[in-house]
Structure 1
């Protein structure tokens, strides 16, 4: 048997479409009707199946946070950052939207004057947008699905419970 060379996941993520896809790839859900929930075999497949274009403000805020906080992290780490933001928006203890959570004073160091900086729409931005869509659609379960906080390299308050450690981030509730 001859070994088969398979490109790394990063190859597939970089191939994200810049224009909306015309139809869902039937390989992901061969017997699915358009109303059926689509199940993906991997997080990379879920990300790759997303089109990267969107004018949705909440999605763009979430993608901005993923981009600035976790663009160098594995997809699971990027998804976990998105989960924290969405969990905060749903918790009743933070702002009620992704944009509100991200731009809330003192929460994210990349936010300047209540604004998320502009981003050049490159491969990492398209990945961030796709991960944001996966998170908003709840298309993949994250190891940090119950987290409200995360950090990179700093010790949190002892009152927080560690949920997961992914890449360079640790997630807490």
Structure 2
């Protein structure tokens, strides 16, 4: 709600140190007081009508209000039907994830699978998203999933190492995070919630879902 307040310009011209009771001045006296204030300040007088009514009062200011800065918005990106994963990643690459949540998802993709094929990176991102949607088994946000104690070895004290956000690998991770968030491409890991590198054998008693790149996925 926009609220307008009318102050006594005559009192301001006198420069009184205390607040005096408001006084109602005749119209002619008010105009003289307003003009005197503008001349004293040696600045142009600008009046702005409150409405289209010529008899409506005017708000007095010493300068025009600056225009509100334009809000820059990202140009919409057209993703064609049937586009390959690599084509979609190429269109969605950027250094800025756009939000803290997407940055967390991109960090998970980056640190766990930046050297993997894009399908492997998508699978890792899908696991993080599946955990966030698991309704109680894991935290309900990407950042919560990523920083949950004992889940991702690259996270220490709720933080992860610095990232060169101008690198192609980071931009690819951001693109994959955006693809997962918008569900632009499906991954063959389905509802998998866990994965490990091929080189280890943790002996999990879980249902194996798929093997993508250098990771094996389970639910």
TM range (shorter): 0.7 to 0.9
Q: Which structure has the larger Rg over C-alpha atoms?
A: 2
RMSD: 1.7
Q: Is the 8 A contact 2:210 2:218 kept in 1?
A: yes
Report 1:1-173 matches (<5 A). 22-25=75-78, 28-29=79-80, 39-52=81-94, 53-91=96-134, 92-121=136-165, 122-152=167-197, 153-173=199-219
- Give 5+ residue unaligned stretches, structure 1: 1-19, 30-38
Cα deviation 1:85-141 (Å, max 9, x = unaligned):
010111020011000001101000000111122201111000000000001110000
Q: Say whether the 8 Å CA contact 2:116–2:214 is kept in structure 1.
A: yes
The aligned counterpart of 2:56 is: none
Could you tell me how far apart the structure 1 residues matched to 2:190 and 2:217 are?
A: 9
The answer as to whether partners of 1:103 and 1:116 remain within 8 angstroms in 2 is no
Structure 2: give runs of 5+ residues left out of the alignment: 1-72
Aligned counterparts of 1:129 and 1:142: Cα–Cα separation in 2: 17
Q: How many matched pairs?
A: 143
SS at 2:120's partner residue?
helix
User: What TM-score do the two structures reach when normalised by structure 1?
Assistant: 0.77
CA drift of 1:158 comes to: 4.2
Shift, 1:68, TM fit: 0.5
Bigger RCO of structures 1 and 2 (CA < 8 A, at least 6 apart): 1
Please say which of residues 85-94 and 155-164 is displaced more in the overlay. 155-164
SS in 2 for 1:80: helix
Q: Given the two structures, how large is their TM-score scaled by the length of structure 2?
A: 0.61
